[in-house]
Structure 1
């Protein structure tokens, strides 16, 4: 049981760590790119040092080659003069310098190989960094677009919620107004019943009681009276 609990805790810690990594993915990626650039700059500095060292050894090679050429001329001159012993001594010196020259040439070749290898690594790293930066730019643009879309969606959701709440408030106001109108109508009807106007209206509608004079009736009466006066 304890082992399972520890396993669960480790799993939770891993998930929490992964969540942190995911939330900071772009920041981590930027830092990793900066670290790569720093390493690239160090490699370029090392390349400069190797090239300078190769140049120093190349200069030594040329110096030794010059000395050997001079000694060979000296040995030839000694032989021309019959100075065999002197010529041998010069020859021994030439042998020593030739060994030193061979060693320096080997060092120059090693530097040349290291320089070429490092140049290739630098070119490869530069290409990878350039492609990586381009992809990061696309990822950042996509990230920004998605954040903007999320913000719009959130605002739209909030607007829909606010709109729904506003519609509910409007319906409640309408219901309250309708109730008030019904109450006022009922109050008018009760007042009419109290002063008898409602009963008069009902009698009039039934044709009982005083009738309302109409303009046609008045004209008919006036015409009839005028006709009687002419006779």
Structure 2
């Protein structure tokens, strides 16, 4: 949907819009991002687009090629695995901190997500489960109170999201990841930081193994 907001927050709006379009696959790896086209699509100035592309370049979602403009950066499988290895360390820390800080209302929220994940897998609602997966990971980081970790993880997740999305759609993958997610939730709700960190790291280790298994030429572009 075009962004129409003007004024001092215009650049922030178009950053969010372009980022969402890249993450959702509207713009594919190596596709050129033409300032004039983006300006028209999102109803913002070319200056705002230029600023947004610079920020997305810093985030690693976009790369600027001399004399050729900007394009969506392609992230290789090897890089996606490296990114997930970093996430494993940082998100493990966040899970431990969340277990130490979690409030009763947040425990209730995590149990709601838990029940919704079980229901989604039970009915084969893969896209709903994928959305709950992302929500759970984000909420754990937010509950941890680790603002630096949050900014790092958001940047890394954005870079590897295509590989993660493909992985989420692989037949049988939700049946593997569901018990891993439930174990993380149970540890945090039990306020057990050691178990929370271990289960979070174990889950992302499983993601890494699944990414490696998906390295066949027919599985990735």
TM over 0.5, shorter chain? no
Task: Flag the structure with more relative contact order, 1 or 2, with Cα contacts below 8 A and sequence separation at least 6.
Answer: 2
Classify the TM-score, shorter chain.
under 0.3
The normalised TM-score by structure 1 is 0.19
- Determine which structure has the larger strand proportion and give its number: 2
TM-score (norm 2): 0.20
